[in-house]
Amino acid sequence: MPIPNLDDSDRRILAELGADARLTQVALAARVGLSRSAVQERIKRMEREGVILGYTLRLGEAPRPGLRAFLLIKGDGPSHDRAVRLAAAIPEVRVADSVSGDIDLVLQLEADRVEDLNRVRDEVGRLPGIASTQTLLVMSPRFDRR
């Protein structure tokens, strides 16, 4: 279903709800500069039209390991399915994304020590179908919208 046209007020409502879906309609109305009834009507319309599909709960996570990195991978063949399956067995590999451009795969890594990241990089570099890797160490996380 295509998303209907949203005006600036709709987008502000969505941004505020995205940051805190528990806002009361009174608080939300004050933040976006509309009446409570106008906010209520807009939310109901966006729910009805499928712009807002639901509300969710995000649980806190255990503290992340001390280091995070991105491993950029260039393949040497048309398919990297085998390499992805093998990388999935490495506990430090948290996410694997196929991407467009000069890089074929991006792995998100989490580890306690630099030595662990080096080991993972070396393991992945030896997998069949991998031509080269490049490691990007996360120096300072800025924000996470998950």
Domain boundaries, the chain: 1-59, 67-137
Q: Write down the pLDDT at residue 1.
A: 45
Residue found under tokens 């950029």 = 72
Domain range 1-59, its CATH number among 1.10.260.40, 3.90.1150.10, 1.10.3720.10, 1.10.10.10? 1.10.10.10
- Under the banding of pLDDT at 50, 70 and 90, the label for residue 42 is very high
The β-bridge partners of 72 are 106, 134
**Residue closest to 109 by CA, chosen among 131, 136, 84:** 136
* CATH no. for 67-137: 3.30.70.920
Residue found under tokens 């996380």 = 141
Q: Write down the pLDDT at residue 137.
A: 95
- Give yes or no for a contact between 82 and 118, defined as CB atoms under 8 angstroms apart: no
Kindly write down the DSSP assignment for every residue of 69-90, as one continuous string.
Answer: EEEEEEESSS--HHHHHHHTTS
Q: Write down the pLDDT at residue 55.
A: 85
What is the arithmetic mean of pLDDT over 13-37? 93
- Give yes or no for a contact between 135 and 69, defined as CB atoms under 8 angstroms apart: yes
Q: Is the predicted pLDDT of residue 26 greater than 60, yes or no?
A: yes
Q: Write down the pLDDT at residue 57.
A: 75
Q: Please write the tens of the pLDDT for every residue from 82-131.
A: 788 888 889 999 999 999 999 999 999 999 999 999 999 999 998 888 89
What is the arithmetic mean of pLDDT over 23-30? 95
- Under the banding of pLDDT at 50, 70 and 90, the label for residue 3 is low
DSSP reduced 3-state for 48: helix
Q: Residue 124 burial by CB count (10 A; 0-12/13-18/19+): exposed, middle or buried? A: buried
**Residue closest to 105 by CA, chosen among 128, 126, 123, 79:** 79
Provide CB contacts within 8 A for 38, sequence distance 6+.
9, 29
What is the arithmetic mean of pLDDT over 48-55? 90
Fold identical between 1-59 and 67-137?
Answer: no
